[in-house]
Amino acid sequence: MIFNRDVLRARYGDLLAELSPQRIDHSLAVGVTVAAIAYRVPVGVRSDLVTAGVLHDIGYSPRLAHHGFHPLDGARHLAALGFSRTVCDLVATHTLAGREAAARGIDPSLFDPYISDHPAADYLRRTLSWADLNTSPSGQPVTVHQRIDEILKRYHPDDVVHRHVTRHRALLTRLGGPLPSFDREEQLSPYTLLPAYCVSAHDA
């Protein structure tokens, strides 16, 4: 099956309905992007990757606000709907969410119910983050540099998002750069996106 925007909208549009039209466009574009490279990941998790790509920002829906942090709110909602642990993990951890949570003073144990131990989990996290960092807020392809600059312009320098992105700009740039192949996974270890790692090992 070819996962273009229309197919993904037909499949997930009801879940995205409460997001802004712009964020829906972004979500569908990220879904299309990860679908196009899903052949890179083990076959058993390809559907999960596409699902997480489309739904990674669902936690922005005001109705889902619980923790007040969209990756966790999205994962919480999708877990309640019965989505797989892999999908919930990817939504919870996408694009350095663990580090942003730490910057916000959010208890990292809140991620625990969603973290997957699938052998490809770290690569899947990296793949979704790569797609998110190369897709503009309205769903256009952009470079990671354009993406970061846009975020920094959109958020006031005092905002936690601005400070988080500034602090981790180098890591975000590497995450949004060329995606290694899965068989070079060992090279990803310094960039693991798990919250516990973020807090304990790399946030000095």
Distance in Å, CB of 204 to Fe ion, minimum: 27
Token pair in block for residue 11: 């499949």
Q: Which is nearer to Fe ion, 86 or 95 (CB)?
A: 95
Distance in Å, CB of 135 to Fe ion, minimum: 7
Compute the distance between CA of residue 60 and CA of residue 182 in angstroms, rounded to an integer. Answer: 30
Are 89 and 114 in contact, with CB atoms under 8 Å apart?
yes
Are 14 and 6 in contact, with CB atoms under 8 Å apart?
no
Q: Which is nearer to Fe ion, 57 or 100 (CB)?
A: 57
User: What residue number has its CB nearest to Fe ion?
Assistant: 132
* Piece of 53-61, 138-146, 162-170, 196-204 that binds Fe ion (CB under 5 A): 53-61
Binding mask 93-132 for Fe ion (x = CB under 5 A): ---------------------------------------x
For position 73 contacting Fe ion by CB under 5 A, the verdict is: no
Distance in Å, CB of 183 to Fe ion, minimum: 27
Compute the distance between CA of residue 88 and CA of residue 82 in angstroms, rounded to an integer. Answer: 10
Q: Which is nearer to Fe ion, 48 or 57 (CB)?
A: 57
198-to-25, 100, 102, 109, 117 alpha-carbon distances in Å: 30, 9, 8, 12, 17
Q: How many residues bind Fe ion (CB under 5 A)?
A: 2
Give me the helices (H) in 85-202, please: 85-93, 97-103, 121-133, 144-154, 160-167, 169-175, 195-200
Q: Which amino acid is at 48?
A: D
Among 8, 45, 48, 57, the residue binding Fe ion under the rule CB under 5 A is 57
Are 2 and 11 in contact, with CB atoms under 8 Å apart?
no
Q: Which of residues 141-200 bind Fe ion (CB under 5 A)?
A: none
Binding mask 130-149 for Fe ion (x = CB under 5 A): --x-----------------
Q: Which is nearer to Fe ion, 57 or 73 (CB)?
A: 57
For residue 138, what are the contacts with CB-CB under 8 A and spacing of at least 6?
22, 25, 26
Q: Where along the sequence are the contacts to Fe ion (CB under 5 A)?
A: 57, 132
